[in-house]
Amino acid sequence: MQDVIEWVCNAIHARASDQYVLVINVAKLVKALEDEDLHRIIDGADLVGVDGMPLVWYSKLLPECLPEKVSGIDIMMMMFQAANRARWSFYFLGATEEVIGAVRRKFLTEFPCATLLGYRDGYFKEAEEPAVVEKIRSSGANILLIGFGSPRKEIFVERWKGQFGVNVIHGVGGSFDIYAGVTKRAPMWMQSAGLEWLYRLAQEPKRMFSRYAVTNTKFAVLVVRELPRIFWPKIVSLFHKQL
C-alpha cells in the first residue's frame, strides 16, 4: 500500500497526465480472461494492484508473489489522508446523486486541508461523456476517483484517457457507497480470511449471488488446472536432487 501512495505522490509531483491506478479481484480476473477488451485495458493500466486475498494466496505458489492486498477503498482512504497533508485536489465521479452528495459532505468535514474541485453522479448517457470529461479537465483536479461498476469504469477510462487533464485516475468501484455509509464493509477478520465477498453477498444476495457463484467457481477450476504446471517442475527438481 505504501508503494501505491508513493507512486501517486510521485505522479502528482511530476505533473504526470492521466496515470491510471487499477485494482483487480477474482471476479474481474475471470471476466478479463473471457473479455479481450477488458484484458487489454488491465494490461495497459499504469499501476495494477490486487484487491482480493485469494489472488494473494495463489501468488504464493508462483516465483514472484504479491506482497499484499491493496483494495480500492483502502487506496482511496490513503489518498484522502495524503491529500490532507499535501493539499491535493479531487474530482469525484460516480454513484447516485444522493450518495455522491453524502461523500462530498463527509470528505470536506474529515479532510479540510484537501480540496474537492468537482463532483457528479454516474448516471449519464454515453452522448454526455464529452461534456463530463470537459468538466473534469477544466476543474484542474490532481486526482479523479471513478465510482462505476466494472467493466464500464475501465471502458470509460480507456476511451478518454489522456483527456481528463488530471495527474492520477483511480477506479474506486463501490467505495463511494461504503464511505457514505450506504453499504458496510466486512470486519477485518473476514477481510484477512478472504471472506469479504461472503459479507457482500449477505448484504446483496440477489444481485451478488450469480456473480460470486459463477466467478468463484471458475477461479477455483482455473487454479486446479494450473497446479500441475506449477508443481511439476518442483517435483522433477526434487527427484533429480534425490538421484
In the predicted structure, residue 242 carries a pLDDT above the cut 60: no
> Which H or E run contains 93?
strand 89-94
Average pLDDT of the residues of the chain: 91
Percentage of the residues of the chain whose pLDDT score is greater than 90: 69
Instruction: Quote the DSSP letter at residue 112.
Output: T
Decide: residue 126, CB within 10 A, 0-12 exposed, 13-18 middle, 19+ buried. exposed
Q: List the beta bridge partners of residue 119.
A: 92
Which pLDDT belongs to residue 89? 98
Neighbouring C-alpha atoms within 13 Å toward the C-beta of 159: 12
Residues 196-214: what's their mean pLDDT? 79
Which pLDDT belongs to residue 234? 61
Main-chain phi, psi angles of 170, to 5 degrees: -135, 125
In the predicted structure, residue 192 carries a pLDDT above the cut 90: no
Q: Give the SS3 label for residue 1.
A: coil
Q: Give the SS3 label for residue 63.
A: coil
More confident residue, 197 or 9: 9
Which pLDDT belongs to residue 69? 92
Main-chain phi, psi angles of 116, to 5 degrees: -110, 115
| Window from 11-20, 39-48, 72-81, 198-207 with minimum mean pLDDT | 198-207
Which pLDDT belongs to residue 235? 60
Enumerate the domain spans of the chain: 2-239
Give the integer Cα–Cα distance in Å for 16 and 9.
10
Main-chain phi, psi angles of 169, to 5 degrees: -115, 130
For the chain, the distance separating the N- and C-terminal CA atoms, rounded to the nearest angstrom, is: 44
- Strands laid side by side in the 115-120 sheet: 47-50, 19-24, 168-171, 143-147, 89-94, 115-120
In the predicted structure, residue 243 carries a pLDDT above the cut 60: no
In the predicted structure, residue 228 carries a pLDDT above the cut 60: yes
